[in-house]
A and B are shown apart, each in its own frame.
Chain A
């Protein structure tokens, strides 16, 4: 079956612009996660969704970052007023119910802020 998909695969933007990153989880997976991977920080958790609710937003680095999930499926991560330090690979993962279950990762969106 189809895995987790993300779009765009690459995004180049200018400092100060807003960007939207999209994640399509595996069908039927109720849990969805966003992570960020950058050279200086490794792989770090951003936010967790269970259904359309986000009970854990503890990893969002600033109020410029927000995310939503609709219909218990697609999720969008929005970064407002992008900064150069936002340049990273943004990874989305989903699992059937969350908790300790296996997470399936998408290929990521490579964001470059000039």
Chain B
């Protein structure tokens, strides 16, 4: 499973767009990229998944360049409730077990 690197923490203000970039230089051809969000005292929650180019859902967008060695999670107009830890995960074993890194702690300020 490919290793990922992402910033440990980020600060933002309400209403701003937040972009969190994840590096995954050793991504394999069949790997996809998945982001999870975790609030304090809760289990992680799936946000978005993609393989290449751009994916958008009601919560976020995921940008993946052609070489797929990195990806950027974009959160539009964040609010205080978006304060959480965001995990970037790459690939999957045949079983689907998830290998979590440190994650990025996003702090949204008023």
Contacts and interface: CB of A to CB of B under 8 A. Distances in A.
Interface residues of B, number: 21
A45 interface: yes
Interface string A70-109: 0000000000000000000001010100111111111110
A106 B93 contact: no
Given A44-B100, A45-B99, A103 B46 contact: yes
Contacts of B100: 35, 42-44
A2 to B, nearest CB: 15
Interface residues of A, number: 27
A103 B32 CA distance: 15
Interface stretch (A13-21, A48-56, A60-68): A48-56
Interface stretch (B37-45, B59-67, B76-84): B37-45
Interface in B62-105: 87, 92-103
Contacts of A43: 44, 87, 100
A31 B96 contact: yes
A8 interface: no
A28 interface: no
B6 interface: no
Nearest to A4: B43
A106 B95 contact: no
Interface of B: 32, 41-46, 49, 87, 92-103
23 contacts: A31-B95, A42-B101, A42-B102, A42-B103, A43-B44, A48-B95, A48-B96, A56-B93, A56-B95, A91-B44, A93-B98, A95-B96, A99-B92, A99-B96, A100-B32, A102-B49, A105-B42, A105-B44, A105-B45, A106-B43, A107-B42, A108-B41, A108-B42
